[in-house]
Structure 1
Amino acid sequence: MQDWTDEYDVVVVGSGGGALTGAYTAAAQGLRTVVLEKTDLFGGTSSYSGASIWLPGTRVQERAGLADSTENARTYLRSLLGEAEADRQDAYVETAPTVVEFLEQDPNIDFEFRAFPDYFKAEGRLDTGRSINPLDLDPADIGDLADRVRPELDRDRTGQGHVPGALIGGRALIGRLLAAVAGTGNADLRTGIRFTGLVVEDGRVVGVTAEHDGRAQRIRATRGVLMAAGGIEGNADARADSGTPGRAEWSMGPIGANTGDAIAAGVAAGGATALLDEAWFCPGVEQPDGTAAFLVGIRGGIVVDANGERYLNESLPYDRFGRAMHAHNGSGAAVPSWMIFDSREGGGLPGISIPNTPPETHLEAGTWVRAGTLEELAAQAGLPADTLRATVERFNDYAKRGVDESFHRGEDPYDDFFCPPNGNPNKALTAIETGPFFAARIVLADLGGKGGLVTDVDGRVLRADGTAIDGLYAAGNTSASLSRQVYPGPGVPLGTAMVFAFRAAQHMAG
């Protein structure tokens, strides 16, 4: 017999897109549900995202006139992943239309298609992409809940609230899901409550332990516990133990969150893990405080290693960029790398940096350097001057001819997606010739860990022998990703989190 503080049908640990989808699915079907968020704001890393969601073959694509289907998406995943976890691949694409239809039945939730190319040239790919996005949200539409949504990354890290106006991207997704969960009348949304462990009886998870304002709590879960609270990305010790490339301070998650508590609790309950050395990688602009800014949408400049040489197509999708950086770093030459660019954009970075720290702040801190000539720039960045000049001259020749003979930049639809027309034969290639010149330090960052608890098609946590732990479910970055070492397209982390949290809640509902 347990001395319970509270009792619910379903306990959800975490409050990102996956967690709230699971909570809404359970609560909308009459199950008494509680969401436990250890910080004082809802949304986690999901709130920082652009909220592209890779949910293929849904009525949202149909409304947009997009030629997409479940079979086409299945073909694309198989071409990238082979038969690894084919049952979960199938469950993902086959359930996606149902998830979208179920969510859009709630008046708070609406999606639309926005073009963003899939990340690999493979059978089943859509060059326009197939991801969907939540509509922008007027904060007034959800009342006080808007103040409980985590702001965008740069404002959150500097202690500011939301930008005035509509909630967009991940904030719109979290705001809409929070309103939907609250609107069921069957859920409690709790912040500032730290999950500390699972309660197990006779091999079944029957509840959780938690702490709020220094007081211990024991919360019963009669149907089950869904853990969707991020991975180990914010835990330096766990990353070191697992061999995860990069550093905790370079990860894009909220500071102090995503420390692997849920994964550790799942392991203590007998759960198996996989892919803990993996992450959703990206290049990061090193910040003056030692953190990193997510770098995406590169439209100019080049990236060189410590030897002053290019080693990749700089316009690759961000995870592929990060993996190329890691693969090239065997000798330690690629982390950090340097992004070399000129003054065409007034000294600003020719790409999207989130957060976007002002150039002068970087220059004062030394994370960027500036010089009138490439030779002076090389001296300040510690690069061999002759090699850097030769690299830039070779690239400038490619830009004038429109062909990157070394790394084929601009040959894929993704490469020039962020590049405005510039009169060049290849708009992804722009010569570096307008001084002064800049070099920005680039590190190996990530959008979250990719490894975690091993789960089945219904999100049930599995033991090493393949049997399920009764009453325990995981989704999002708390679970090991079905995409393994591949990032197929924009919004796969959110899409898989939402689908498997939905399936977990459906399983708990019977």
Structure 2
Amino acid sequence: MQDWTDEFDVVVVGSGGGALTGAYAAASQGLRTVVLEKTALFGGTSSYSGGSVWLPGTQVQERAELPDSTELARTYLRNLLGDAEADRLDAYVETAPVVVEFLERDPNIEFEFRAFPDYFKAEGRLDTGRSINALDLDPATIGDLAAKVRPELDQDRTGQGHKPGKLIGGRALIGRLLAAAAGTGNADLRTGTALTGLVVEDGRVVGVEAVQDGKPVRIKATRGVLMAAGGIEANAETRAANGTPGKAEWSMGPIGANTGVPIAAGVAAGGATALLDQAWFCPGVEQPDGTAAFLVGIRGGIVVDEKGERYLNESLPYDQFGRAMKAHSGNDAVSWMIFDSRERGGLPGISIPNTAPAKHLEAGTWVQGDTLEDLAARAGLPADAVRASVEQFNDYAKHGVDESFHRGEDPYDNFFCPPNGNPNSALTAIETGPFYAARIVLSDLGGKGGLVTDADGRVLRADGSAIDGLYAAGNTSASVSGEVYPGPGVPLGTAMVFSYRAAQHMKG
């Protein structure tokens, strides 16, 4: 007999887009559900995101009159990933329309298509993209819940609340899902409650142990436990043990979260793991405090290695950019982004958070020089190589063709580059002094390795058998996309689909 603090049908660990989709799916079907969020705010890394969700072939794409379908998305994924995860891939694309139709039945939830190209040139790709976003949300419509949504990264890292106005991006998605779950009357939404372990009886997971507001609690789960609470990305020791490239302090998750406790609990219960050496990689602008800022949408400048030489297309999708950094320079890759003063000393790209140039220059994470030779000396780079790299790139910009790395030839390359009168809008000469160099490190948006699961999100043992009562999704599970990042919103889309399927399995 167990001494239980509380009893529910379903316990959900985590509060990102996947966790809340699972919680709402369970609660809307009459299952008494509790959401356990470790920190003081709901949303996790999902709240930091732009909110794109890769759910193909849905009624949202139909409303936008896109030439998308389940079969087209399946073709695209199979071309990229092969047949190794056929069952889960089929479950993903076939359930995506079901999930969206289910969510949009609730008056709190509505999506729209927003253009953002798929990341790879392969059959089945849509150059316009197929991702969908939750509509921007007036915080007044969800009442007190709005204050419990984690703010965007810039605001959160500096201890501020939400900016005035509507919740957008990932915050809109989290706010809408919270409102939907609360509206069922069957969801208990708790913050400040950290999982410490799983309770197992006769091979079945029957509940969780946690610390709530500093006190130990034991919560029974009669139907099951769904863990969708991030990966190992913030745990330096676990990253090192698994050979995960980059550093914990360079990862983009909320401070104090995503240390891998749910994954460790799943392993203790007998679960197998995979892909723990993988992450959703991205370039990061090293910050004065040693953390990193997510870098995306580069529209100018070049990136060079310690030899002062270019080695990649700087306009690549961010995961491909990060993987190119790793392949070229190793797991703790550090490069320099060289740019000029066209944007008044600002970085020609999107940096989240966006630290003022003056603070970077004071800390030495950026350097400035009146000439390229002066800049190279301050960055510790070979001056001749830096000048040669810049002059070659400027020649490419003049003629509109990057002969070395083909920047600007893919629709994604030009997505963030408005027409500027150049033959190739992704190529802009570096010629207006003073010049700048920013330290670029290998960052990530979270780990993509975790517990091995089946098409219903059930956690599997090494022999392929399922652990009764235990489910995982999102970055707590090993990603269905393996070492590939197919398109914007795949992390959220897969988390939502497999959390939904887990809830259906628990209900069934």
TM-score with structure 2 length normalisation?
1.00
Q: Residue type of the partner of 1:495?
A: G
Aligned to 1:374: 372
Counterpart mapping for 1:64-103 below 5 A: 64-103=64-103
Within 1, Cα distance between the matches of 2:136 and 2:43? 16
Within 2, Cα distance between the matches of 1:358 and 1:5? 48
Name the stretch that deviates more: 207-216 or 281-290. 207-216
1:75-119, CA deviations, whole angstroms, 9 ceiling, x for partnerless residues? 000000000110000000000000000000000000000000000
Counterpart mapping for 1:217-366 below 5 A: 217-330=217-330, 335-366=333-364
Q: Residue type of the partner of 1:16?
A: G
Aligned to 2:46: 46
Q: Residue type of the partner of 1:291?
A: T
Secondary structure in 1 aligned to 2:225?
strand
Within 1, Cα distance between the matches of 2:108 and 2:325? 41
Secondary structure in 2 aligned to 1:172?
helix
Within 1, Cα distance between the matches of 2:287 and 2:130? 33
1:31-59, CA deviations, whole angstroms, 9 ceiling, x for partnerless residues? 00000001000000000000100000000
Q: Is residue 26 from structure 1 mapped to residue 13 from structure 2 by the alignment?
A: no
Within 2, Cα distance between the matches of 1:213 and 1:266? 23
* Aligned-residue offset at 1:383: 0.3
Within 2, Cα distance between the matches of 1:343 and 1:225? 53
Within 1, Cα distance between the matches of 2:235 and 2:9? 31
Q: Residue type of the partner of 1:469?
A: I
Within 2, Cα distance between the matches of 1:500 and 1:213? 30
1:15-37, CA deviations, whole angstroms, 9 ceiling, x for partnerless residues? 00000000000000000000000
Aligned to 2:147: 147
Within 2, Cα distance between the matches of 1:192 and 1:458? 28
Aligned length: 508
Q: Residue type of the partner of 1:22?
A: G
Stretches of structure 1 that go unaligned for 5 or more consecutive residues are none
Within 1, Cα distance between the matches of 2:24 and 2:88? 22
Aligned to 1:429: 427
Identical aligned residues as a percent? 85
Aligned to 1:157: 157
Q: Residue type of the partner of 2:215?
A: R
1:180-230, CA deviations, whole angstroms, 9 ceiling, x for partnerless residues? 000000010000011110000000000000112322111000000000000
Stretches of structure 2 that go unaligned for 5 or more consecutive residues are none
Q: Is residue 418 from structure 1 mapped to residue 416 from structure 2 by the alignment?
A: yes
- Select which of 447, 452, 456 maps to 1:454: 452
* Aligned-residue offset at 1:150: 0.3
Q: Residue type of the partner of 1:60?
A: V
Q: Is residue 6 from structure 1 mapped to residue 9 from structure 2 by the alignment?
A: no
Q: Residue type of the partner of 1:51?
A: G
Aligned to 1:473: 471
Counterpart mapping for 1:178-197 below 5 A: 178-197=178-197
Q: Is residue 394 from structure 1 mapped to residue 376 from structure 2 by the alignment?
A: no
1:322-348, CA deviations, whole angstroms, 9 ceiling, x for partnerless residues? 000000014x8x821000000001110
Within 2, Cα distance between the matches of 1:191 and 1:164? 24
Within 2, Cα distance between the matches of 1:497 and 1:379? 46
1:402-446, CA deviations, whole angstroms, 9 ceiling, x for partnerless residues? 000000000000001000111000000000000000000000000
Q: Residue type of the partner of 1:42?
A: F
Aligned to 2:489: 491
Secondary structure in 2 aligned to 1:142?
helix
Within 2, Cα distance between the matches of 1:323 and 1:96? 28
Aligned to 1:501: 499
* Aligned-residue offset at 1:62: 0.2
1:279-302, CA deviations, whole angstroms, 9 ceiling, x for partnerless residues? 000000000000000000000000
Within 2, Cα distance between the matches of 1:360 and 1:505? 49
Q: Residue type of the partner of 1:220?
A: K
Secondary structure in 2 aligned to 1:389?
helix
Within 1, Cα distance between the matches of 2:194 and 2:132? 32
Within 1, Cα distance between the matches of 2:154 and 2:415? 24
Q: Residue type of the partner of 1:56?
A: P
Within 1, Cα distance between the matches of 2:406 and 2:75? 26
Within 2, Cα distance between the matches of 1:420 and 1:361? 28
